Structures are given as C-alpha cells and as structure tokens.
Copies of this chain bind each other. A is one copy, B any other.
C-alpha cells in the first residue's frame, strides 16, 4: 500500500491574503488526499483566535499584545494595499461577488476535511495567547512536532 502524500504549511504571517493562500492550498491538498497540517506560529496564530474577547489572567505586556493583534481570521489585514483597513473590505467585496470563500469559511472547511491545525506553543507563550482564546479543534505543539511531519512531507511551505 502506498503511503499518503503530505502537505505541511507553516503559517507565520498574520495577513488575511497570505492566510487565504495557506488555506486554499491546504484545502486543495486535502481534496487530493494528502495528510495536511497547518502549523500556525507568531502572527499566524491570530487566524486561530476567537472573535470574542475571552477573559483570562494575563500580564500587562501580554494584555497589550492581545489588544493590538487582530482577533480572528476576519479581522486580519492585508500584506499589500491594506489602506488602513480599507483593503480587506475591498477584497472581501470582490470575493463575495466572485463567490470565493472568506478566510473563516476556508478554516471551517479545512477542519471538516481533517486538515490538522496546530498552534505553536512557544509563540503562544511569547504573545501571551492562551488555549481558551483560540478556536476549538486545534492541536498544540512546537518545532519538534512540525519537523516530525515535514521531514517526510511532499509539499512543505513557509507562508
């Protein structure tokens, strides 16, 4: 029996458009029957935040980070032509018109297709993000977890 191919994406970026690219590739690879994992690290973790404020105990610095970073996929900015927040609205308008899925739907779809979503515990620590603040159904791991999958991966990307 042939082993399944695998796609492993590190989502470092906190930009809406880059996260879209990551999830479009992930969903495509899952449809092609790959084992797919998205490891969110640094700003990429914002895509996994819940939209609502979650009450958790935090230090001052961590509170500040929490406030400054976008809460969840649909609040992220663009890597290009962001125009102080106007860009994402424009992109979402054309996406609607062309019936393209918004990022939050792409994430739901990934979870339905068993794409494994992993939050990097080391950067959760640094940015002061706690499990309660992240969406359900994700796993937690570090660089060792990433390498264990990626070293036998077919498509490894850093986004």
Contacts and interface: CB of A to CB of B under 8 A. Distances in A.
Contact of A94 (B34, B62, B90): B62
A46 to B, nearest CB: 9
Given A80-B14, A158-B158, A25 B98 contact: no
Contact of A155 (B21, B34, B94, B150): B150
A43 B5 CA distance: 29
Contacts of A24: 122, 143
A157 B157 contact: yes
A93 B61 contact: yes
Contact of A125 (B98, B157, B158, B159): B98
Q: How large is the interface on A (under 10, 10 to 19, 20 to 34, 35 or more residues)?
A: 35 or more
A1 interface: no
A74 interface: no
Contact of A154 (B143, B146, B152, B159): B152
Interface string A90-128: 110111011010000000000000000000001001111
Given A69-B81, A144-B32, A151 B21 contact: no
A12 B5 contact: no
Contacts of A51: none
A130 interface: no
A79 B91 CA distance: 21
11 contacts: A7-B151, A24-B143, A29-B151, A32-B144, A32-B147, A34-B147, A151-B154, A151-B155, A153-B154, A156-B157, A158-B158
